[in-house]
A = this chain, B = another copy of it.
């Protein structure tokens, strides 16, 4: 993998000085076009061995282009706000929006490599990390991010020579300490871990570009030219005409049975029983939310369901049990301008809670595989890949210890009609009736299919769906509360086990 990078690559000073101004002009032009058209973001990852010119290249790119539209991030020790979210949160929050260039100096690849070199993780965990990175980068590519990954390389001999030269010069001697030599001793181990890592994370849409780092002129021109070509290619490409795909095929079913139809939507629970149960479960939830160990946990609850299935009422029964300071409601509507300039999941990542907090999503990231799929707001390719992306997202939450509860509130078509009619009569519910309601009813079958697919594809061991029979709203609310309590209890158990 590094064979060709180990060779002596040189560009003379004269050649460099001739080429650099032209390259700079072309890069500035490309950056201008990117900014004007704003169709995609450019994300540049800078990685590789010590002393191979990573920092210098980052500075040079900022110097060559307009630094006002480049956002450079390094990722030192995470802040407490970062530590309370899954590890990828800090990268999500730094993603460049469309039209901008982001430079990540070190990113999601750093941790697994370092941990593997230090022997902190085994080959299994390392493979898992690679798999996750592949899926994450695939998602970025699918979302239109131009992802460019540069790996700066020095051969062992070049590395050694560099340290010796720095040591010789009194002006740079301070840069070489014991630490540098200790790193150097790890060189072979490092390369042994990196080589397969690079191989496995080099994909068609985002290959690693290995940059020989010994000669500053050579590496500057190489990176600059590669960046220019990649940006130019994408800028000049005609956007492919998206074919509308308004009737995506459903999974063929040999009978009329599915997970929704298998539900008994009418579940008995009288008003009196409900009142008693409500007190029990709200009390239990309240106690759980005040549990000392909850301070190192957080809860993400997702509410989806048919229109008028009683999501709002169920959410309210949950929040009634909580201190208003401990929860945050996210009502998912049309994305804002800043959200539209980012990958689909960005607007959900930004709302992940700190420890000791609940976030309640009224509608969620599942919009893509429900309304967007059925109404044709996105292409089939987009919603098809969403299942995997969502599973990855939820696995990250679960692994970080976030208690995740997902509810589908299901009512029958007749019951829905009854509720729509009743709503028209209650003044303060008038705003719940929208034009969309009628449309959704006409597509009942298509939505049913989408929901069944969603449950099949995203009900996982770490993030199972809870299907809630909601024709009787009393039953629905109690089932939601009970499920949430149990999930939280299991979460608290896990933190106990983790501490023990």
Closest B residue to A354 by CB, please name it. B79
Cβ of A68: which chain B residues have Cβ within 8 Å of it? 312, 315, 329-331, 362
A67 engages B427 (CB within 8 Å)? no
Q: Is A63 an interface residue (CB 8 A)?
A: yes
List 6 A-B pairs, minimum CB-CB distance, nearest first: A68-B331, A74-B325, A337-B337, A28-B428, A72-B324, A58-B324
Check: A436 CB closer than 8 A to any chain B CB: no
**Max chain B Cβ within 10 angstroms of own Cβ: one of A73, A324, A337:** A324
A71 interface residue (CB < 8 Å to B): yes
CA A63 to CA B79, docked complex, whole Å:
34
* In-complex Cβ contact of A325 among B58, B61, B327, B428 (8 A): B58
Task: Give min CB distance, A453 to chain B, whole Å.
Answer: 27
Cα A362 to Cα B70 with chains together (Å):
13
How far is it, in angstroms, between the C-alpha of A68 and the C-alpha of B273 when the chains are bound? Answer: 28
Q: Mark A335-365, 1 if CB is under 8 A from B, else 0.
A: 0111000000000000000100000001000
Chain A, range 41-78, C-beta contacts under 8 Å to B: 55, 58-59, 61-63, 66-74
A29, CB-defined interface residue at 8 Å: yes
Q: Say how far A76's CB is from chain B's closest CB, in angstroms.
A: 9
Number of interface residues of A (CB under 8 A): 48
Partner of A55, one of B32, B325, B362: B325
Q: Given A67-B316, A331-B69, A338-B338, answer yes or no on A29-B428 (Cβ-Cβ < 8 Å).
A: yes
Nearest B residue to A322 by beta-carbon distance?
B59
Q: Are A427 and B319 in contact (CB under 8 A)?
A: no
Q: Which of A67, A69, A337, A431 has the most CB of B within 10 A?
A: A67
- On chain B, the residues within 8 Å of A61 by CB distance are 324
A195 at the interface (CB under 8 A from B): no
Q: Which residues of B contact A247 (CB under 8 A)?
A: none
- Say yes or no: A59-B323 contact (C-beta < 8 A), given A71-B328, A427-B29: yes
In the complex, whether A103 has a CB less than 8 A from a CB of chain B is yes
* Residue A280, interface by CB 8 Å: no
A70 to B320, CA, bound (A): 14
Contacts of A323 in B (CB 8 A): 55, 58-59
Q: Does A156 sit within 8 A of B, measured CB to CB?
A: no
Distance in Å: Cβ of A107 to nearest Cβ of chain B: 13
Question: A336: which B residues are within 8 A, CB to CB?
Answer: 336-338
Q: List 11 A-B contacts (CB under 8 A).
A: A24-B428, A29-B428, A58-B324, A58-B325, A59-B323, A68-B330, A69-B331, A70-B329, A72-B324, A79-B79, A336-B338
Is A274 located at the chain interface by the 8 A CB criterion? no
Please tell me if A180 contacts chain B, counting CB pairs below 8 Å.
no
Q: Tell which of A80, A325, A327 has the most Cβ of chain B within 10 Å.
A: A325
**In the complex, are the beta carbons of A324 and B428 less than 8 A apart?**
no
Chain B contacts for A55, CB-based, 8 A: 323-325
A residues 278-294 with Cβ under 8 Å of B? none
Q: Which of B24, B103, B315, B431 contacts A67 (CB 8 A)?
A: B315
Chain B nearest CB from A290 CB (Å) reads 11
Q: Which of B36, B58, B63 contacts A316 (CB 8 A)?
A: B63
Known: A312-B66, A331-B69, A338-B337. A59 touches B428 (CB 8 A): no
State whether the Cβ of A25 lies closer than 8 Å to any Cβ in chain B: yes
Given known A67-B319, A80-B79, A81-B81, contact A25–B324 (CB-CB < 8 A): no
Say whether A187 faces chain B, with CB atoms less than 8 Å apart: no
A92 at the interface (CB under 8 A from B): no
A105 at the interface (CB under 8 A from B): yes
A73 to B327, CA, bound (A): 9
Q: How far is the CB of A83 from chain B (nearest CB, A)?
A: 10
Apart from A55-B325, A58-B324, A336-B338, what 7 extra A-B contacts exist at CB < 8 Å?
Answer: A24-B428, A58-B323, A62-B324, A63-B319, A68-B362, A70-B329, A336-B336
A79 to B427, CA, bound (A): 43
Q: Which of B29, B80, B322 contacts A80 (CB 8 A)?
A: B80
